Each structure stands twice: as C-alpha cells, then as structure tokens.
Amino acid sequence: MKNVCLALALASALVVPQTIHAQFANAVISYNTGTGFATAFTNGSAALGAPASGASVTPFAPPFSTSQIVSIGAGGEITLQLNTPILNDPSAPFGVNFILFANEFFTKSSGGTVSGLFNHAASTLVQVSPDGSTWYTLNPALAPPVGQLFPTDGSGNPQIPVNPTLGLNDFTGQTLAGIRSLYSGSAGGAGYDLAWAQDSDGNNVDLPSADFIRLEVQSGVVDLDAISITPEPSAMTIGLAGIVLLLLAHKWRAGLQTGPVAAQLSGQQRYGVPPLSGVARANAIGSGTFNALHLVDAPPAEAGTPCLKEPGSSI
C-alpha cells in the first residue's frame, strides 16, 4: 500500500499544474502588426501561455522583453486560439470570464507609492468566436480598454480578476503592499464578460462559450502579454481528481494494472488516468462546472511496470 500512496502523491502533484496550463491561449491564428507598433516586438507567440510572472514583475515593473509581449499598432490585429473554451459563466467572480494582460504599469513617487499610470493610449475592439469563423464584438461601452488597468503582478494568480470597480484613484498613494491588498491575490489584467457579446448589427448575443479571441486595434498601440480564462480550477475539481486517483488505486489493487481508467465529468471537465508505468500519471483537461462523475474502464493497453513496487510486496 505504501507504493500506492506514493504513486497517488506523485500523480496529484501533476493534476493541478496541467489544469492551470490549459487556461491560456495556445495558438496564433493570425497577426498583423498594423502601424506604429514597437518594431522589436513582433513575435505573436509571446501572447501564448501564462502572463509574465515572478518576483521581477510587479505593477511598478511590467513585462518588457520580446519574448513576453507582442505589439499591435493601428489597423493591426491578433487572433488567438485557446486550449480551453471560455465559458459564459455568470457566477464567475465579478462576472469576469477572461482577462487580458498587457504591459502598463503604475508610476512611482519618490516615496515609493503610486503616482499615476503609464500606458499606451489605444482604441481596441475585443472580439470572440466559438468557431474562428463567426465573430462577435464585446460591447465597447462595457469592455474596459486593453492595456490600462490593472498592471501585472507576477506574484498573483492570473485566473483571479481584480475588482473591476476599482480605479486609478483607489491605487494612488498605495505602496506595493497596498496594491496587492487591493488585488486580493490577483495578477492584475483587464476583465471581460462574454455576456457583452454583440453581433455585427449591435444586437446582444447569448454566447455560451468561445474558443477564439481577436484584438483589433483601431488607433494607438497595444502591447499584449497574455490571455487568461477564469475562474481558476475549483477545489471541487481538484477534489474529484483525487477521487479518481483513489478509485484507480482500488482497481489497481484488484488486478487491473494494465488498462487505463477514465473519469468522465458531466460538463466541461474530464480526467484520464493512463496505464501506469514507473509512476502514476494523471492528466487534467478542460475547465468548467459539473455535477456527476463517471468512472469507465478503458480497453486493455500495453502492460506497464508496477509503480515503485517493493520486492516481496503485494498491491
């Protein structure tokens, strides 16, 4: 049983990071620089994956390298595909379904507190699509400007939005600790809601989900870092992943070491546990809500090596 517990511990460590990894853009469909862009920042792939993180990135010190941001000038656009669909979830924190990160930053006074905001003035249309063909524009009267509030904090969680009712005045005079207190664990960025989607005639559209995002810069410049989908994986999601692993251990003990076990969730989330070889592995795919868990024995696969089995022990 000792080797089972060790395998579960190793597998559990892999579940959460892979779930989180799937919450960002993973492909550049198109990129047009437009005019007035920053000439060295034309790598569209810089917008893929998570926003810049680490102690060196703070609301006073934004991402600035060519591998971190991509510049889009007037008349330009970038279209990105997401690993995981954005869900139109009204229960998401502040109603925010996804977050855009750029490279704006708070300016600092001689006393080390916020004195203002540095950003590129830009007019941008944020558009979403479920299929990459039919596009809907988020109501410009509701969608916040890209690349203004809120500057990235590399120590925060990119899947937690900042309270969108906060404004520059709330941050003026704040230290870094004060900013982080207002961020409440967030990594910053501007939050958007799929409920703001409109068709080409300006009519509101009930859009359940979107797999693509396009930014069209009408004027000015946007230096984009990343897109993040909210909310972050819930404790219930992670807990169900643990249940899957426990059920796997039970079936393993019963002699089903060679076939994968799949746990299907009635919603957007599912977990697959492949055949064990060396150590137990688990993959987490998707996000969303669910209300049922189904454990399914998959067809037999090639036999794997027992997981860290000790000589003379039985599973």
- Tens digit of each residue's pLDDT (9 = 90 or more) over 13-69: 444 444 444 599 999 999 999 999 999 999 999 999 999 999 999 999 999 999 999
Question: Which segments within 119-208 are labelled E, that is strand?
Answer: 122-129, 136-138, 190-192, 197-198
Its pTM surpasses 0.85: no
- What is the CB neighbour count within 10 angstroms for residue 123? 14
Scored b (16 or more CB within 10 A) or e, 12-22 reads eebbbeebbeb
Instruction: Report the pLDDT value the prediction gives residue 234, as an integer from 0 to 100.
Output: 53
Distance between CA 109 and CA 116 in Å, rounded? Answer: 9
Instruction: Report the pLDDT value the prediction gives residue 29, as an integer from 0 to 100.
Output: 98
Instruction: Report the pLDDT value the prediction gives residue 231, as an integer from 0 to 100.
Output: 78
Scored b (16 or more CB within 10 A) or e, 174-191 reads bebeebbeebeebbbbbb
Q: Encode pLDDT of 187-208 as tens digits.
A: 999 999 999 999 999 999 999 9
Low-confidence ranges of the chain (pLDDT < 70): 1-22, 232-315
In which region does residue 76 sit, left (phi positive, over 0), alpha (psi from -120 to 50) or beta (all else)?
beta
Instruction: Report the pLDDT value the prediction gives residue 60, as an integer from 0 to 100.
Output: 98
In which region does residue 5 sit, left (phi positive, over 0), alpha (psi from -120 to 50) or beta (all else)?
alpha
Q: Do 211 and 129 contact (CB within 8 A), yes or no? A: yes
